Structure 1
Amino acid sequence: MAGRSAPTVRRTRVATELRKLREQAGVTATEAARTLGTSQGQLSNVESARFGVSGARVRAMASAYGCSDTAFIAALVNMAEGRTRGWWEQYRDILPAALLDLAEVEHYATSLRTAITVHIPGLLQTVDHARELFRQVVPEFSPPEVEHRVSFRIKRQDVLFRDSPTPYLAIIHEAALRMQFGGAAVAKGQLGHLLEMSERDHVTLKVIPFAAGSFPGSGQSLFYSTGQVPRLDTVHLDQSHGPAFLDAEAQLEMYRVLLGKLEALALGPVKSRDLIHNLVHDL
């Protein structure tokens, strides 16, 4: 299989951070190229993610730009050198590249948080629930595409089942729990799966009840992936055309605050499970 023509999301992030470091240091591309002993064209290719970059080169660039944050530099080096092809690459010619990027971000995250209003988070969906969602997409997916999307979504859930599972916080509004996608039987199976997952040590499930009233960020689905250092965190917003990734420091801080507000509104894990048990009983 040929390599991806487009850079991976991690390579793009390394390139973006290196460019930010140079600009924050007030160093022009011409000056940086001269200091690093390279051409301006090669530097441009690195900063635009057309070329990958070695860990040694990352350290040299950080030094040239006066960056003394050793933890941040080490995290960038790790991102630059971690070029192992992930399982998601088998879907490269089948699904949009943004979905592959989402799986890659989740795979390398040190923790994951999500807040969602009308859907069950993808990492907690059952096969039947996911299949029903993809059948309702407009324009309509073909049956094979539905199955590709379902299998991809289920494989993403490996981050919660591998030997060192990723800590995961899911904040779900009660509205999402009451939506009966696929009918009562599918809904009951989905709620039962949520209860099972909520008992895992690394999974925290919290419900925002209708009684909480209005709350910030109610019109969007928010996913937050924690990097090795806070500067390398990533926000991904679920949109109709696919995930959009945000990584500017001001954006990251805004969404950290938003997630904190939503978590404060939500019921605790025990009361959240009690609410779900009551919903299952009513089906």
Structure 2
Amino acid sequence: MPPRTAPSERQRRLGAELRKLRTRARMSGDEVAALLDADRPRVSHIEAGRVDVPRNGLYKLLQAYGCEEGPLFEALMAMAHDRGKGWWDEFGDVMARRALDLAELESRAISVHLHEPSIIPGLLQTEDYARAVISSIECDRQHLERWVRFRLERQRALAGFEEYHVVIHESALRMRVGDSRVMRKQLLKLIEIARLPHVKLQIFPFEMGPYSPHSRSFILFGGPTPELNTLYREYSTSAEFTGDGHRIAEYARMFERLASLALAPIDPAAAPEDQKPQDSLSLLQHVLYELR
């Protein structure tokens, strides 16, 4: 089978992790090729995610690289033999590769830390809000409903996270998407979701002033082991997935700073009247009142 020309993010990430382990073990590509009874180009294709490595071959590699059996070993074996087939495949004809990769990553993530400065995050959107957002940026009406359905299907991942912590800027609450009915329904859904025990939702208020270092959205995905954490950033025509530990640590510090400056999260265990004054719930309720 010829090398694939467009590997998925999962395939690229597996190859990158194998390259890291090989480099740490100070093994050359030729040594790995001999171990696999393959040629040097095949090793390059494996590390680029363009070809798969057989289960017994991967086992040999991980042992040769000094990766002891444990969480990382098991996670890499699972990544290699997960063929990436999921509900997102049926949308492959209308969704960009980056969107399919994001859905697959969400399905595997253990935790999520997300910052959003301008719109309600996709996993928290109502159907009407999602339709209004997508219709404002996509002109292909023929596929609009399938794009909306894809976004709603992604929301199934929310129940599988051990932790979902999101910091949303107040501007996302006040930016009018659709009419006031759409916005009220959306804000009520935020309150509902924020009461889930594994969800922590905070609002970053206007009163905190400018925060230019954090003006872009980003998502930190926690993997089954720290080595498999992922930073995701989306741009107008592309997306970035990176497992670079230094960048992930940088954005983790950013997120901690944002969370420390944001209003207190909604306490799922407290009754509405027992919520702290000037917290995220009080601001959400204030915006709801203004939308009457």
Please indicate, yes or no, whether the TM-score normalized by the shorter chain is above 0.5: yes
CA contact (8 A) 1:236 1:246 kept: yes
Shift of 1:143: 1.0
Structure 1 Cα separation of the partners of residues 246 and 232 of structure 2: 15
- From the superposition, tell whether residues 121 and 69 of structure 1 become closer, same or farther in structure 2 (CA, over 3 Å): same
Counterpart of 1:60, as a letter, is K
Residue 146 of structure 1 corresponds to 144
1:180-219 alpha-carbon deviations (Å, 9 max, x no partner): 1112111111111111111111211111111222335332
The whole-number CA distance in structure 1 between the counterparts of 2:251 and 2:161 is 24
Check conservation: 1:171, 1:205, Cα contact below 8 A.
yes
Residues 1:42 and 1:5: Cα distance change in structure 2 (over 3 Å): closer
Tell me whether 1:213 sits opposite 2:209 in the alignment.
yes
Secondary structure, counterpart of 2:119 in structure 1: coil
Aligned to 1:168: 164
Distance 1:87-1:112 versus aligned 2 partners, 3 A rule: same
1: CA distance, partners of 2:84 / 2:244: 26
SS in 1 for 2:213: coil
Alignment partners' CA distance in 1, 2:230 and 2:252: 11
**AA in 2 matched with 1:146:** L
Matched residue type, 1:190:
Q
Q: Deviations over 1:29-88 (max 9, x none)?
A: 112212343322322221121211244322311222233473322211121122251000
- How far residue 146 of structure 1 moved from its aligned partner, in angstroms, is 2.1
* Residue 275 of structure 2 corresponds to residue 279 of structure 1: no
Which SS does the other structure have where 1:204 is aligned?
strand
Q: Which residue of 2 aligns with 1:194?
A: 190
Match of 2:178 among 177, 182, 205: 182
SS in 2 for 1:217: helix
Cα distance between partner residues in 2 of 1:255 and 1:69: 30
Give me the identity figure in percent. Answer: 34
- List runs of 5+ in structure 1 lacking aligned partners: none
Check conservation: 1:207, 1:267, Cα contact below 8 A: yes
Q: State the distance in 2 between where 1:117 and 1:93 align.
A: 30
Q: CA deviation at 1:178?
A: 0.8
Ranges in structure 2 where 5+ consecutive residues have no aligned partner: 267-278
1:169 CA displacement = 1.0
Residues paired across the two proteins, number: 276
User: Which residue number in structure 1 is paired with residue 120 of structure 2?
Assistant: 120
Tell me, yes or no, if structure 1 residue 99 matches structure 2 residue 99: yes
Partner residue of 1:231 out of 227, 231, 254:
227
Aligned-partner residue type, residue 189 of structure 2: H
Q: Structure 1: how far apart are the matches of 2:166 and 2:213?
A: 15
Tell me the secondary structure at the aligned position of residue 114 of structure 1: strand
Bigger CA drift: 261-270 or 76-85? 76-85
Does residue 1:243 correspond to 2:243, yes or no? no
C-alpha deviation, 1:105, in angstroms: 0.3
**Secondary structure of 1:273 counterpart:** helix
Range that drifts further, 37-46 or 109-118: 37-46
> CA offset at residue 9 of structure 1?
1.6
Take 1:36 and 1:142, find their aligned partners in 2: how far apart are those partners?
Answer: 48
Distance 1:150 1:192 in 2: 20
Deviations 1:147-194 (A, max 9, x none): 222111111000124xx4552111101111111111211111111111
Q: Specify whether residues 156 and 217 from structure 1 end up closer, same or farther in structure 2 by C-alpha distance, changes over 3 A only.
A: farther
| Cα deviation, residue 131, structure 1 | 1.2
Q: TM-score, normalised by structure 1?
A: 0.91
Which amino acid in 1 is paired with 2:150?
F
Q: Secondary structure at the match of 1:185?
A: helix
Q: Deviation at 1:18?
A: 0.5
Structure 2 residue identity aligned to 1:157: Q
Per-residue deviation, 1:117: 0.6
CA distance in 2, matches of 1:55, 1:193: 44
Structure 2 counterpart of 1:263, from 249, 259, 263: 259
Q: TM-score, normalised by structure 2?
A: 0.88
Give CA-to-partner distance per residue, 1:120-161, whole Å, 9 cap, x none. Answer: 111111111111111221xx4211222222111111000124
